[in-house]
A and B are shown apart, each in its own frame.
Chain A
């Protein structure tokens, strides 16, 4: 499996509810994340962070000897490992505070095990990217080489312009998902990207000429009328 290396990561679970710790540990173990430890207090969590050096922390906010926000603030002084808040406090202020302190995500209880796993994997993949051997991004009629900003079509290599590259990067990051016109314009023209719809269409047409077999019948870069575009990649 491509993501097997992520399952070896050391994950610290911090919550004052023993039953929650037990359950989350079970959920993670079921998915193959076996390298986990638990802490029920700020003191225990700080000790584990310093000695065991986890690679991801799932952190509750309300702990018996302090709160998760202060703990993260203190821990950020010596480590910048990813943190996912897992808390019953779901107010906007709490979420903003948690994310503002540098947490990578904030999940409000109650949560579905699947959602927790997806968010956690997402963080791990983003933070420990260098270990993932990324190949070319394969499309129906070609492949994209982002390192060299080129489209690889059989023997041929076609260079991408800066704007085409920026658009394809956003589309590739969200491969299989629709990306709005506004997001694409923002990626190319920066803030306040209004009135660039026609220019965007022109760039999309040029990209299609480079990546599609038949640009008038696109199969990789699909238009979703009025909303945006979707890049379909080969599994």
Chain B
């Protein structure tokens, strides 16, 4: 919906801008035109009226005769005009220029005089200027000027003109906006389902856009794209499920024979009649079959998490109680007291709520605790802590054991695991323990951070999103 609004805003902006620019352009052009033709349109320096005034000034009476000066003649020549001086009272022409056309009368009645002053004489546009009591009539070439014969306006109309002009402009503007709105709404109606379809496409491959109207071809393309995505997704899911099922199947089939290996090895190990050496061998067989069992379980879980076929049984968990229980379960099993647990959670932190699959989270934390044990066979202090950092809950497992070098830490963080590696990279990670921890954190919308522990060993932190306050 946002993109449609943006589109409308953009269109409207363009419309307003073009209107403003249009008005500015028109006014500019009008001013330029007026200023260029100022002399002919207005009563400018060389306009018909001014010229008439100047000619009148250049006409002098010398005795009985009238003489037009050189300057006056030049002004007449420039305009291609002729001149008559009409005597007051008689209407007779007492002087005229040499270039007077033949059809021009040499005497005027009052009516002819009125017509000549208002407009034309024999289609020659004329301008009149008073010369003493007489009238100087100047006639311009026929196509030189157009004269308005009755230039008289109702005063009320002129007084209301600004209001009328404003209303006129507003009316025009409204009309333009209306035309725009109607046309744009038509286009938007056609575009809206297309935009909605494209917007939904990344998340919802079941998108279907009605294949009618102005943009039906685009709708067809969107539907085809959605179909293609659906089939690709189906194939991918099928492949991933098959792969996860294959691993689950193999794990299942191995379990029964492995039961017998483990069972008999366990029995032999405790057989009083067996020699010490054979008991040791039985012990090795039992330990290795236990390793295989763990490997099968890890492989199965890692593949399910990787291919997203592991269901999450999410519930509300108090991370403090959860990690404390993990610590106690671990201590209750550690009969030799080789791995004492230090509880570093601050006393005032009694409840930090998260939403998660308790079984999976148990698996993640126990993988981290087991890692500390496996890498520190001589024993170490394992420190557990729950912290709240902004909107995340942090479950930290660290030890004061041998730790890892900078190179090893960087390799753990950067090397892709063979389970998730999509290229032929030589350097691949193999241990499944940390991969599972990372996958479980990711399945919960969290992450894992690995570092050196301040006490010298290894530190792993699982960050999980806090339960929103209204739910806790």
Contacts and interface: CB of A to CB of B under 8 A. Distances in A.
A155 B260 CA distance: 55
Q: Chain A interface mostly helix, strand, loop or mixed?
A: mixed
A178 B261 contact: no
B331 A224 contact: yes
A227 B313 contact: no
B343 A20 contact: no
A226 B343 contact: yes
B267 A111 contact: no
A1 interface: no
Contacts of B41: none
Interface stretch (A22-30, A45-53, A127-135, A212-220): A22-30
A227 B327 contact: yes
A14 to B, nearest CB: 14
A177 B332 contact: yes
B262 interface: yes
Given A27-B267, A110-B261, A228 B256 contact: no
B198 interface: no
A30 B289 contact: no
A24 B256 CA distance: 12
Interface in B299-355: 300, 311, 313, 318, 320-321, 324-325, 327-328, 331-332, 341, 343-345, 347, 350-351
Contacts of B343: 225-227
Interface residues of A, number: 36
A109 interface: yes
A113 B289 contact: no
Contacts of B347: 197, 226
A172 to B, nearest CB: 15
Interface residues of B, number: 40
A119 interface: no
Nearest to B256: A88
B313 A228 contact: no
Given A112-B266, A227-B328, A20 B321 contact: no
B263 A23 contact: yes
A182 B267 contact: no
Contacts of A92: 311, 313, 359
B321 A180 contact: yes
Contacts of B324: 180-182, 226-228
Nearest to B341: A227
Interface string B264-303: 1011000000000000000000100110010001001000
A183 B331 CA distance: 16
B255 interface: yes
Given A110-B261, A179-B328, A224-B331, A194 B351 contact: yes
A27 B432 CA distance: 32
16 contacts: A19-B260, A20-B256, A20-B259, A88-B252, A89-B252, A110-B255, A110-B258, A110-B261, A110-B262, A112-B266, A113-B263, A113-B266, A114-B266, A180-B321, A224-B328, A226-B345
Interface of B: 248, 251-253, 255-256, 258-264, 266-267, 286, 289-290, 293, 297, 300, 311, 313, 318, 320-321, 324-325, 327-328, 331-332, 341, 343-345, 347, 350-351, 359
Given A109-B258, A110-B255, 11 more contacts: A17-B256, A23-B260, A88-B252, A88-B255, A109-B259, A111-B262, A111-B263, A177-B332, A178-B328, A180-B324, A228-B328
A-B pairs, top 7 by smallest CB distance, nearest first, are: A226-B343, A88-B255, A182-B321, A110-B258, A110-B259, A109-B255, A109-B259
